[in-house]
Structure 1
Amino acid sequence: MNYQAFAKLYDSLMEEAPYDQWIQFVKACSEKADFTGVSILDIGCGTGELLVRLHQEGANVTGVDLSAEMLAVASKKCEQAGFHPILIEQSMTQLEGLDSFDIVTVFCDSLNYLETEKEVQDTFSSIYQRLKDGGLLLFDVHSIQKIEEGFIGQTFAEDADEIAYIWTSFAGVYPSSVEHELSFFVRDEDDGRYVKVEELHKQRTFPIEQYKEWLIAAGFEIVTITADFTTSLPTEESERIFFYARKKNRGF
C-alpha cells in the first residue's frame, strides 16, 4: 500500500483525536497565547497534524518519527499548509543532528511504544540534550489502568464506507504492556477493491513514580502531573497521564 493510502487509513482512525486539546495543554504549560518565535520539536509527529496546528500558532516546528511513510505524508501535508519544516526519521531514544528547542512534545501516547526501561531513560536523556536551559518537556502516556483494563482482552471494530477494522488487544510480555492486533480493510481508490492490511502494535506503560524518578535522573524538574486533559491530579480511574517537566538551568 502506498503512503497516500496509509495516510488515509491513519488519519481516518485519528479523525476524532483531541489535537486542539493537546495544543491547549502546550499553551497552558508555556503560558503563551500563541507560539510566535517558539521552537518546538514534536516527537512521534506521525502525519503532521500537530505540526500544522503548531505552525499556525506561530511556532518554528521540527518533526521526528520512526516511519518514513508517515514523514512523507507529513511533508506533503505541511507543504499544502504553506510551510516546509525539518522532518527527521529516527528513534526518540537517540536524537541526533538537531538544534536546541524551547519545547519538546511527545503526545498521543508515543512514549508508550518504548518497551524497556532503558529506552525510556535514554529518551529522557536524549530530549534533555535537545532542550535549551529552562526548556519544557511535555508528554502523555497511558495509565496502567488504561492498559490493563481498557485494552487487554478487549476487541474493537468499525465498519465505514471506505475502511473497516478489527482491533484485538492481548497482554504483552512485559508488566503493564499490551499487544494490539489490527486488521484493516481499505478500499483501493483505483479499482474499488478492499485491501487487507495487518499490523501489530506493542505498548507499555510504567507507574507514575517511575516516570518521575527517570525524569529527575535525566536532569528535569517536574512542574505538574495531571490527567485526561484536566488540571486534576491522576486517580486510579485516569486513562491518560500528562507530564509537564522543565530542564534545569546549568549551575542550579
Structure 2
Amino acid sequence: MNSYERFAEVYDELMTDIPYTEYVEWIQTYAPAQNYKNLLDIGCGTATLAFLLHKAGYAVSGIDLSEEMLAIASARMEDEKITMPLYAMSMDELEGFSELDVAIIPIDSINYVKEQQNVVETLKRIFGSLREGGQLFFDVHSLYKMDNIFLDGPFTYDDGEISYVWYTEPGEEPHSVYHQMTFFVLTESGLFERFDEEHYQRTFAFEQYVKWLKEIGFSHVEVTADWMATQPTDESERIFIRAVK
C-alpha cells in the first residue's frame, strides 16, 4: 500500500476542488450525528474531512498509513484546539475499534490497497468494528476512470508556487495505474525544490465491491455515482457505496 510522503506537504493546496461538504451531506443524510455519533475516518489524511465532520457533531477518530499526513493533521488540531484521536495504521490491519456507528473510507483511499485479499480484509475488519445498524461509506475510482481518464496523460499543473508533472501508466493487475509525479515547490529562498513520488492504485467493478460486502454480512448496500444520487453509467468516474451492518 502506498503512503503519502512529501506529497503530504502540498496535498491540501492541490485538493481544493474536492467537494468535502457534499461528502458530509451524504453521510448526514443517512447517518445523522444525533443517532450515529462515533465515526472512524479511514485514510483520514490531513483530516480536512474529519474536521468538517467534527464540526457537524460527530465524535471523529482517524487512521492513516502516512505519518506525514497525520503530522499535518495533528498540527491543525493543535491550532484549532480540537481533540481528535489519530492513529498510524494500515486499513487492512484495522484493530482496536468496536461498536462504531459510522466508518468512512473517503476520496478513493481504498484504491491504494493493491491486493484483492487485502481489500476484502479491510471490509471484514470494518464490519467487525461497526455496531449492528452501523454504516460504512466509501468511494472508489470507476473502471472507466482507471482505464481511460487516468491513462490520458501526462497531466500538468502550475500556480506559480506549486508545479507538477504527473505521468501515468498501466499497472500489472487489471484496472490499476502507476502515478509518477514530479513536484516543484517554491521555497522561502525564492528557489524551487523538486521531489518525486510514485503511487499505485487499483480498483474493481462496483458489482464486485457489492458482492464482497454482502458476503461479509452487510444487510443493505447502495451504489451511486459522481457526487450525486445517480446510478452509475459506463462513463461514471467516481462510485459511492453505502453499506449497513
TM class, shorter-length: over 0.9
Shift of 1:127: 0.5
| Residue 18 of structure 2 is aligned to residue 28 of structure 1 | no
Q: Please tell me whether the aligned partners of residues 214 and 221 of structure 2 are also in contact (alpha carbons under 8 angstroms).
A: no
CA distance in 2, matches of 1:143, 1:86: 31
- C-alpha distance after superposition, 1:65-92 (max 9, x if no partner): 0011110111111222221111000110
Amino acid paired to 1:48: A
Counterparts of 1:79-118 in structure 2, within 5 Å, are 79-118=78-117
> In the alignment, what sits opposite 2:222?
224
CA distance in 2, matches of 1:114, 1:214: 15
* Between 61-70 and 99-108, the greater mean CA deviation after superposition: 99-108
* Between 147-156 and 131-140, the greater mean CA deviation after superposition: 147-156
Q: Please tell me whether the aligned partners of residues 35 and 54 of structure 1 are also in contact (alpha carbons under 8 angstroms).
A: no
Q: Please tell me whether the aligned partners of residues 153 and 168 of structure 1 are also in contact (alpha carbons under 8 angstroms).
A: no
CA distance in 1, matches of 2:59, 2:45: 17
Where does the alignment leave 5 or more consecutive residues of structure 2 unmatched? none
Shift of 1:237: 1.1
Change (3 A) 1:97 1:155: same
- C-alpha distance after superposition, 1:55-110 (max 9, x if no partner): 10111000000011110111111222221111000110011223431000001000
> In the alignment, what sits opposite 2:14?
13
Q: Please tell me whether the aligned partners of residues 148 and 176 of structure 1 are also in contact (alpha carbons under 8 angstroms).
A: yes
CA distance in 2, matches of 1:18, 1:49: 11
Amino acid paired to 1:220: F
CA distance in 2, matches of 1:201, 1:57: 32
Change (3 A) 1:242 1:128: same
| Residue 76 of structure 2 is aligned to residue 77 of structure 1 | yes
Shift of 1:4: 11
SS of 1:53 mapped into structure 2: helix
Shift of 1:119: 0.8
Q: Which of 220, 240, 243 pairs up with 2:241?
A: 243
CA distance in 1, matches of 2:16, 2:140: 20
SS of 1:214 mapped into structure 2: helix
Q: Please tell me whether the aligned partners of residues 36 and 101 of structure 2 are also in contact (alpha carbons under 8 angstroms).
A: no
| Residue 235 of structure 2 is aligned to residue 203 of structure 1 | no
Shift of 1:153: 3.9
Change (3 A) 1:35 1:142: farther
SS of 1:47 mapped into structure 2: coil
CA distance in 2, matches of 1:134, 1:4: 36
Where does the alignment leave 5 or more consecutive residues of structure 1 unmatched? 248-252
CA distance in 2, matches of 1:221, 1:232: 21
* Between 175-184 and 222-231, the greater mean CA deviation after superposition: 222-231
SS of 2:92 mapped into structure 1: coil
CA distance in 2, matches of 1:5, 1:240: 26
After TM superposition, the score normalised by the length of structure 1 is 0.91
CA distance in 2, matches of 1:207, 1:88: 30
CA distance in 2, matches of 1:205, 1:5: 24
Change (3 A) 1:81 1:4: farther
CA distance in 2, matches of 1:210, 1:224: 13
Percent of aligned pairs sharing the same letter:
41
CA distance in 2, matches of 1:105, 1:114: 15
Counterparts of 1:93-242 in structure 2, within 5 Å, are 93-189=92-188, 191-242=189-240
Change (3 A) 1:99 1:81: farther
CA distance in 2, matches of 1:45, 1:134: 23
Change (3 A) 1:100 1:192: farther
Amino acid paired to 1:239: E
Amino acid paired to 1:236: D
CA distance in 2, matches of 1:49, 1:35: 21
